[in-house]
Structure 1
Amino acid sequence: MTERAPLKSLRRTVVTMASVCLCTALWSQTVLAQTQPQRLPTLPLSAGMHIIKAELALTPEQHQIGLMHRTSMGTNEGMLFVFDRPGQQCFWMKNTLIPLQIAFLADDGTVVNLAEMKPKSLDSHCSTRPVRFVLEMNTNWFTKRGIQAGSQIRGEPFGTPR
């Protein structure tokens, strides 16, 4: 038994429309993800007596989005980027709307170097030596608290519970 031509045509049209709807939905989801701030699980870190609520960015996609599209961040909130291997880590601020200060951290949580980063800038800010951890906080956060190269950030990722 064979299908009639109109039924075959209708079936093709339905399949095509379903495919278009699926593609549109996936595209919309991707665009939304690229324009909305991501929210990630947090963990506590400490810098002396200061407790930090750090969102944990583990994957390349999470690293790429970072703190983009946020209009504000709490005083003691930040984002900790964790990389698989030590390397020279470089960051810029495309689509990041708030000024940040960045700390490049050794495996034990020692601050290797700091940098101030301006919003919406493609200026690159890099670690001065290979690191696996990078912590972004509001602008001047580390400086206002006397935290500088050689200071210690403590917490689970560095093998030292807070």
Structure 2
Amino acid sequence: MTTEVTLRGLEDGDLDTVFEFMRDPESVWMAAFTAEDPDDREAFDAHMRRVRANPETINQVVLGDGRVVGTIACFVMEGDTEITYWIDRAVWGQGVAGRAVALLLELVSTRPLHARAASDNAGSLKVLTKAGFEVVGTEVSHAAARKAEIEETILVLR
């Protein structure tokens, strides 16, 4: 059971661990909106170089009892500031995601703040609504992980 959750900046040494998290088949299915090929390390590295080079993006690792158990980020897309996170499936259900979101919200004062989740990802939707995000709509988008169009829930924290 994870007892302490903290955030720190994403470092080069974290990338192997993060890549492995983002390859877990069940996690990929739940996230839905992922890379076309989660096993493509070159594409992962290129993506991470792009997002880490963007000065508007905040990239943090989530530490559970001192070890990397996920990532959380804040970025601007089409004029909206959004958050995203990925938590190691080994610690799902332990409150790690909720604590990580709360800690990020302490770092990021921008409002409104947007988030999105596959509409069938009940765990992520629960984390976001518990943090104060409100559902403002849905849209159908292509989910690479599922190779299909699926419904995505759009949330806002004002």
Shared fold, TM over 0.5: no
Higher relative contact order by CA 8 Å / sep ≥ 6: 1 or 2? Answer: 2
Q: Which has the higher strand share?
A: 2
Please give the TM-score of this superposition, normalised by the length of structure 2. 0.32
Q: Which has the higher helix share?
A: 2
